[in-house]
Amino acid sequence: MITDEIKVLAFDTFGTVTDWFTGISGIVGGTVPGVDAGDFARQWRARYAPILARVESGELPWRGLDDLQTETLHDTATHFGITIADDDAARLVRAWREIPGWPDAAAGLARLRTRFTVCALSNGSVALLTTMAKRNGFGWDFIGGSDLWHHYKPAREVYCGIAELMEVRPDQVMMVATHQSDLDAARGFGLRTAFIERPLEWGGAVKDDSGSPHNDFHASDLNDLAAQLIPHTTSLR
Amino acid sequence: MITDEIKVLAFDTFGTVTDWFTGISGIVGGTVPGVDAGDFARQWRARYAPILARVESGELPWRGLDDLQTETLHDTATHFGITIADDDAARLVRAWREIPGWPDAAAGLARLRTRFTVCALSNGSVALLTTMAKRNGFGWDFIGGSDLWHHYKPAREVYCGIAELMEVRPDQVMMVATHQSDLDAARGFGLRTAFIERPLEWGGAVKDDSGSPHNDFHASDLNDLAAQLIPHTTSLR
């Protein structure tokens, strides 16, 4: 059975285990006057993947995520025709450490951890992810942050790096994410994939949660994933 | 107060949170006939620090801990005038992942984790330390294994590396160990230090648990350390 071959579950964090929209729009609402907080949060988040891609392409040198998020925050403010003071910017960037987990996340991870090694595998830094975990009760076995490799997903170094650190083959690792692009990259490097539906990731905005038929698993949340991966316990817990 | 300045506790593992003597002498007794298992375990362990030092000096290229432990295992067998088959050697090296925690370790770490970020900072690999943690219920916030830096303590890269990953200053990290040499190195790089008494680390053999007066804390075990660092909870828990 495939579940016997999988040893490690590697989780995307922003969107998959945490609800960045609620966390970031909330602090934007209290910090940035005169804008629609939800729109501002979405515009900021929309600038995330592109700037990471510029680092991975070599156009920009390696920089930590907080630094990149500061730059995209100011870009977002410009888009809205406003400016943000440095101390407010620092608070807003810091807020990505404090975004809430989805209601099922901590319990689902705890259940999955009884059978698998559960790791964060995120473009956040180790320190960011450690704070996020402590605030939300996420019991990671290991935290794979982008500063371990100085690379951002979808870079090979990240996906293969977690397999190497866990001393398993890539096909013994399953990437778990609500972003098909993350899973497609992971599969390209030999990992298994599980899609998690997070229809509210972007607040009320449309999100495609259909997932690719190439994924090994498709789950409505982490409890559903646990039920599929550890079926014997489904009826017991 | 010093405890307000400390953010991260970095724990040595072999000897400080786990009882390698009991674990290793136990498996030696069941695997290597014709030797005193305790003596064999001590002789093997005595070859640990010297071979790591040869890597750090540049005499040997970087190699993972399992590989080095395999070499010192065969050296130890030679010392006893015996040979060990490869599959037995693999089992014995693997046994370092499965050594038991000291009775106070899991509970003490859990208590310390309520106030501090608790990390393993060990010459073991991340995978080794992850297995060790799962078997013993150690709830690390982060696991700092030697393969993150390709360096072994007492190298600067390890001590300063954990501060960097945690995004704190070295003096906001306290190294916790039962080996004064580890603490002396950590202090040299600006970390705080706490000595933990483990009089049975080498089985019945003599171990110096006096600790240096330069250490910031000296504790009889991890519960005692928690009582000293989180005094308000001492009488409650």
Same domain, B33 and B76: yes
Tokens of B101: 């925690």
Interface test with A, best of B112, B167, B169, B173 (most A CBs within 10 A): B167
The whole-angstrom distance between B193's CA and the closest CA on chain A is 21
Q: Please, how many CA atoms are within 13 Å of residue B6, restricted to the half-sphere of its CB?
A: 25
Same domain, B15 and B88: no
By CB atoms closer than 10 A (0-12, 13-18, 19+), residue A181 is exposed
Instruction: Say which CATH number the domain at B88 has.
Output: 1.10.150.240
Same domain, A210 and A121: yes
Same domain, B217 and B126: yes
Q: What percent of chain B has pLDDT over 70?
A: 97
Please give the pLDDT value at position A206: 85
Confirm or reject contact between B49 and chain A (CB < 8 A).
no
pLDDT, one tens digit per residue, over A205-227 is 789 999 999 999 999 999 999 99
Please give the pLDDT value at position B236: 43
Q: Please, how many CA atoms are within 13 Å of residue A97, restricted to the half-sphere of its CB?
A: 18
Instruction: Say which CATH number the domain at A135 has.
Output: 3.40.50.1000
Same domain, B228 and B111: yes
Size of interface A-B (CB pairs under 8 A): 46
Same domain, A161 and A44: no
Same domain, A47 and A119: no
**Taking CB atoms and an 8 Å limit, are B133 and A141 in contact across chains?**
yes
Same domain, B128 and B207: yes
* Selection from B71, B98, B64 nearest residue B86 by Cα: B71
Q: Which of A97, A112, A135 lies at the terminal end of a domain, its last residue?
A: A97
Report the C-alpha gap between B160 and B151 in whole angstroms: 12
Q: B1 falls in which pLDDT band (50, 70, 90)?
A: confident
As for how many domains chain A has, the answer is 2
Q: B235 falls in which pLDDT band (50, 70, 90)?
A: very low
Grouping H, G, I as helix, E, B as strand and the rest as coil, residue A124 is coil
pLDDT, one tens digit per residue, over A134-183 is 999 999 999 999 999 999 999 999 999 999 999 999 999 999 999 999 99
Cα–Cα separations (whole angstroms), residue A62 to A54, A149, A152, B149, B231: 10, 10, 9, 18, 42
Q: Which amino acid is at B41?
A: A
Report the C-alpha gap between A111 and A57 in whole angstroms: 38
Q: What are phi and psi of B186, to 5 degrees?
A: -60, -45
ipTM > 0.90, yes or no: yes
Other Cβ atoms less than 10 A from the Cβ of A220: the count is: 14
The whole-angstrom distance between B115's CA and the closest CA on chain A is 10
From chain B, pick out residues whose CB is under 8 angstroms from the CB of A148: 148, 165
From chain A, pick out residues whose CB is under 8 angstroms from the CB of B148: 148, 165
Same domain, A145 and A205: yes
pLDDT, one tens digit per residue, over B109-133 is 999 999 999 999 999 999 999 999 9
Same domain, A193 and A132: yes
Residues 142 through 161 of chain B touching chain A, CB cutoff 8 Å: 142-143, 145, 147-148
Q: Which of A97, A122, A142 lies at the terminal end of a domain, its last residue?
A: A97
Same domain, B175 and B108: yes
Which CB contacts under 8 angstroms, 24+ apart, belong to B23-27? B23/B95, B23/B96, B23/B98, B23/B99, B23/B100, B24/B92, B24/B95, B24/B96, B24/B99, B25/B203, B27/B91, B27/B92, B27/B95
Place of tokens 């010192």: B72
Please give the pLDDT value at position B233: 55
Please give the pLDDT value at position A235: 44
Residues 6+ apart with CB under 8 A from A197: A178, A209, A211, A218, A219, A220, A221
Report the C-alpha gap between A40 and A24 in whole angstroms: 9
**Residues spanned by the domain of A162:** 2-19+100-233
Please give the pLDDT value at position B131: 98
Phi-psi region of B190 (alpha: psi -120 to 50; beta: other; left: phi over 0): left
* Selection from B96, B93, B92, B118 nearest residue B107 by Cα: B118
**Taking CB atoms and an 8 Å limit, are B167 and A125 in contact across chains?**
yes
Residues 166 through 205 of chain A touching chain B, CB cutoff 8 Å: 166-168
Sequence-ordered strand ranges (E) for B56-191: 117-121, 142-144, 173-177
Please give the pLDDT value at position B2: 87
Please give the pLDDT value at position A204: 84
Q: Which amino acid is at B43?
A: Q
Q: Which of A81, A97, A113 lies at the terminal end of a domain, its last residue?
A: A97
Q: What percent of chain A has pLDDT over 90?
A: 95
pLDDT, one tens digit per residue, over B65-86 is 999 999 999 999 999 999 999 9
pLDDT above 90 (res B220): yes
Same domain, A122 and A223: yes
pLDDT above 70 (res B193): yes
Mean pLDDT of B199-217: 95
pLDDT, one tens digit per residue, over A85-133 is 999 999 999 999 999 999 999 999 999 999 999 999 999 999 999 999 9
Residues 102 through 141 of chain A touching chain B, CB cutoff 8 Å: 117, 125-127, 130, 133-134, 139, 141
**Taking CB atoms and an 8 Å limit, are A166 and B139 in contact across chains?**
no
